[in-house]
Structure 1
Amino acid sequence: MRDIKALCVYCGSSSGSRPEYTEAAKAFGARLAKENIALVYGGGKVGLMGTVADAVVAGGGRVIGVIPRQLVEKEVAHTGLSELHVVETMHERKTRMYELSDAFVALPGGFGTMDEMFEMLTWAQLGLHTYPCAFLDVLGFYKGLAASMDHMVAEGFVKKVQREQVWFGDSIDAVFDWMKTYESTYTPKWITKESV
């Protein structure tokens, strides 16, 4: 059984166009607090980011935010967290969030969410970490992305075993069950010393 002490959530700095996205963020945050798993996230008070953090705080859980200084200066930093790490760049933010976390989950979000999550998927592909990476597919938000990943496999750009390491689903219970039993099956990428 995998011991997850801190989980990194990537999600939108907006709330999206449907109330179900906010409801899912609240439910996910409440579950983190119930499981006594610390939330690591981008440190903002707005959008789904703020919603999931507020839910963890309301449930008595621990919340660690990591935010670039320029966003603090724009007054979007959450002031009610257990810890707030202020960094200088977005690259530092992503690295620090990774260092603090044992698992990664993407809730609905935009370009930033994709950037952050895909960096973790790439690092897993390269064997730089062995942590679970999952997409909470609220209202089929990530259905197209899952299909794109399958297409990458079909076209020879991603190995099937690497695609199978990425979880998609709409059940909070199921994602927590999957993460706790996750086992990495790292497979080296295409290029080897022999092929160069």
Structure 2
Amino acid sequence: MENVDVLYQDYEVEYSATEIQTSPMLVIEKVDADKALYLHVDHTLTGTDLSIAERFDLTWKVSLGVNHKIILKRIIRQPLDPFIASLHKTILRYAPDKQAKKNIYQENNFFIVPADTAGPFLLHALPSLLKDFVLVGAENLREYKVKVVSPKLNVAFSSGIDFLEGEASLNFEDETISLQQVLSVGYL
């Protein structure tokens, strides 16, 4: 925060020339009884507790360095307007008709997406949105049968006299996909 001095034991304060840029975050707030999807776009900072980042308008990130130094790096916020506009355009693309487009509510960075649009939007657009947004609140998508699972990477190597071969696959709970299949479909 501005106008706050950092003091810690006998550490020396150093202002770094390196700046840290925030990333856009897509927050799934809830799915209501009518299966309308509530979401908003915000900033996130890697390595920072999300509740702190959302509640306070942080301008510096502080870390303890070697040789008794406190290192301060300025936080630069990416403009969210292009991400909000892109998200709105993407949501509209999955509305089944003109009336459904009118039923999508947007105020600044906050959206309410009715069920008839939310279902196709989540099914088709959510994977591609992960390239631009950090996703928070995916556990709130149970109504849409979306389940967050961390894949496990399985790697096996074999060798011969003049070569080294290997196979890799990703395991998603009860489903295994070869790394070659994942790369050919373009998930990574």
What is the TM-score of this pair, normalised by structure 2?
A: 0.28
Higher strand share: 2
**Rg comparison, structure with higher value:** 2
What is the TM-score of this pair, normalised by structure 1?
A: 0.27
